[in-house]
Amino acid sequence: MTAHTVGAAFDPTRTWRLHPQVAVRPEPFGALLYHFGTRKLSFLKNRTIVAVVESLGDHPTVASALAAAGVDPDQEAPYLHALSVLVASNMLVIKESA
Amino acid sequence: MTSIAPVPRLIEQFERGLDAPICLTWELTYACNLACVHCLSSSGKRDPRELSTAQCKAVIDELERMGVFYVNIGGGEPTIRPDFWELVDYATEHHVGVKFSTNRVRITPEVAQRLADSDYVDVQISLDGATAEVNDAVRGPGSFDMAIRALANLANAGFADAKISVVVTRHNVGQLDDFKALADRYGATLRITRLRPSGRGADVWDELHPTAAQQVELYNWLVAKGDRVLTGDSFFHLAGLGAPGALAGLNMCGAGRVVCLIDPVGDVYACPFAIHDRFLAGNIVSDESFDNVWKNSALFTELRQPQSAGACGSCGHYDACRGGCMAAKFFTGLPLDGPDPECVEGYGAPALAEARDKPRPGADHSRGKPIMLTLQRPPAKPCNESPV
C-alpha cells in the first residue's frame, strides 16, 4: 500500500497532483478516472475540469491552475468543490516539493 | 463533479455507449473443479477451442490500447489454466488491472507475496452462504471450508482487502450481517450481487431467487449499511423502492454500452449474464479484433440506441429501474420491453405465472447436471421475516 495520506484536507494554496496510481481516460463528456489503489472510478463531467486536474501539478496553487484553464474567479466554487471531492477520495494528493 | 450519485446526463452518455468498455468480464476457461447449481456460465469442462496464451496476450494488448482500466477474470475456475499467473502478470505490466474470482487460491508463499505487493491485482473469493450448510447446498460439499481457507491464507500472507463475493439467494439474504462480519474478520470487503437465471441458474432461479419481501429487506439493508459493501451496481432493479440516488452506484444496465463479456473461446457477449446467441456480438478471432466487435457489431449498435420502455412506459419507477435486467427477463422467458421478473411493483409475478418459453443458455460445459443439496432453512431470526 502506498503512503499517501488518505483524505487529506483540501488546501487550495498548496500544490496538488493526480495520485500516481490514477489513470485518466479522455471521453467526449470529459474523462473517466480510475484509481488502481482504491479501485474507485470517478467522472470528470466537462473538459475544463479535466484540463484543471491534469495541470494542477504544474501550478503552485489551485487558483493559478484554475486561471490558466480559463475559469473566472467568480466561477471557481463548483471547481473547488469538485477538487475537494477528488482530494477526499485520494485521487489528488499534495505534490511534495522536488 | 466526481460522482457517486447518478447524474442523468452522464447516464444518457453511457447508455449511448463509450468507445471502449470501462471494464469487462473475461472468462478464461469453462473448466471448473466445482459445479455450482447456479453457475452463470454453465461451466465444468474445458472447451477445446479456448484461446491460447498468445491469443490472450493479444487481447490484453488491445485492452491496453483501448484504455480499459481493468478486467474481471473468472470462468470456470481461472487458476486452473497453467498460464493463469503469466496472463495476470502480462495484464498488469500492460496497465490493465486484474480482479479475479476464484474458489480456491492455492497460494504458495511466492504467489501470496506477489499478490500482496501488487496494487493492480484484486482477488474475489466466491461464497454463497455464511455457513457451510447454506453455502455447500449451492456450491457443493467442502466448498465453504475451501473458501474460508483461501481467505485465511490471503490474510496470513498480508494481502489486504480481498473481496468476498456473494450471490444473494432466498437462503442467504438473512445472513448479510454475518457475511459482513466474516469479511471484517479477514480484513476483506463484502461484495454482493444479484442472482440471475443465467446458465445453470435458469434451472434453480425459481427456487433460489429472493422473495418480494426479501427484496425489500435487501434494499433496506443496502441503503442502511451498503456504503462499504460492493454490489457491481447489480441491484438497480430495486432502485424504485426508495428515493433516487439512495442506492449507491450508477444503477443502469451497462451491457454492450460500458461493459461486456469475453468468453473462453473469444466470443463477445453483451454481459456476463447473457451467454446466448441473442446477445452474441461477435468473436475476437473470426471478427478480426475485440475493438472491431465493440465498436461495430450490430448487437452493440442496437443496444446503444434508445430502448423502448414498452409495457413499463406508464410506470412512475421507469426512470429509476429502466425496466430492470435484460438477461433476467430473457432467461425467465419474459419480453425484453416489459417488467423485470423481480419488478418492485410486483408486475413480474403475474408474467411469471403465465406459460413461458424459457430459452436455453447458449454454451453448456456442465459435467452432468449438478443437483442442489436438500437445504434446511437456516434458523432465521424472526425479525428478518417480513410481517407482510
pLDDT tens string B244-267:
888 877 778 999 999 999 999 999
The full DSSP string for B246-308 is: -S-S--S--BTTTB-EE-TTSEEESSTT--SGGGEEEETTTTS-HHHHHHH-HHHHHHTSPPP
Nearest Cα residue in chain A from B249: A41
B7 chain-A contacts, CB cut-off 8 A: 45
Cα–Cα distance measured from residue B343 to residue B168, given in angstroms and rounded to the nearest whole number: 16
How many CA within 13 A on the CB side of residue B160?
Answer: 9
pLDDT tens string A16-57:
999 999 999 999 889 999 998 888 889 998 999 999 999 999
C-alpha distances out from residue B354 to B81, B147, B332, Å: 43, 39, 11
pLDDT of residue B7: 46
Phi-psi region of B141 (alpha: psi -120 to 50; beta: other; left: phi over 0): beta
The sign of the dihedral angle between the CA atoms of B239, B244, B250, B252 is: positive
Cα–Cα distance measured from residue B162 to residue B255, given in angstroms and rounded to the nearest whole number: 26
Residue of B1, B98, B117, B229 best to disrupt the A interface, most CBs of A under 10 A? B1
Burial, B308: exposed, middle or buried (Cβ in 10 Å; 0-12, 13-18, 19+)? exposed
Q: How many C-beta atoms surround the C-beta of residue B379 within 10 A?
A: 8
pLDDT tens string B7-18:
446 788 898 999
Nearest Cα residue in chain B from A21: B119
Cα–Cα distance measured from residue B90 to residue B96, given in angstroms and rounded to the nearest whole number: 9
Average pLDDT, rounded, for chain A: 89
Instruction: Please count the residue pairs, one from chain A and one from chain B, whose beta carbons lie less than 8 angstroms apart.
Output: 62
A31 chain-B contacts, CB cut-off 8 A: none
Amino acid at B78: P
Does B2 contact A85 at a Cβ distance shorter than 8 Å?
yes
Cα–Cα distance measured from residue B329 to residue B213, given in angstroms and rounded to the nearest whole number: 20
> Residue B76, preceding bond cis, omega within 30 degrees?
yes
SS3 state at B107: coil
A36 → closest Cβ in B3, B22, B97: B97
Which residues 101-120 of chain B have a CB within 8 Å of chain A? 119-120
What band does A9 get if pLDDT is binned at 50, 70 and 90?
confident
A41 → closest Cβ in B18, B22, B95: B22
pLDDT over 60 (residue B375) = no
Does A44 contact B2 at a Cβ distance shorter than 8 Å?
yes
pLDDT of residue B378: 47
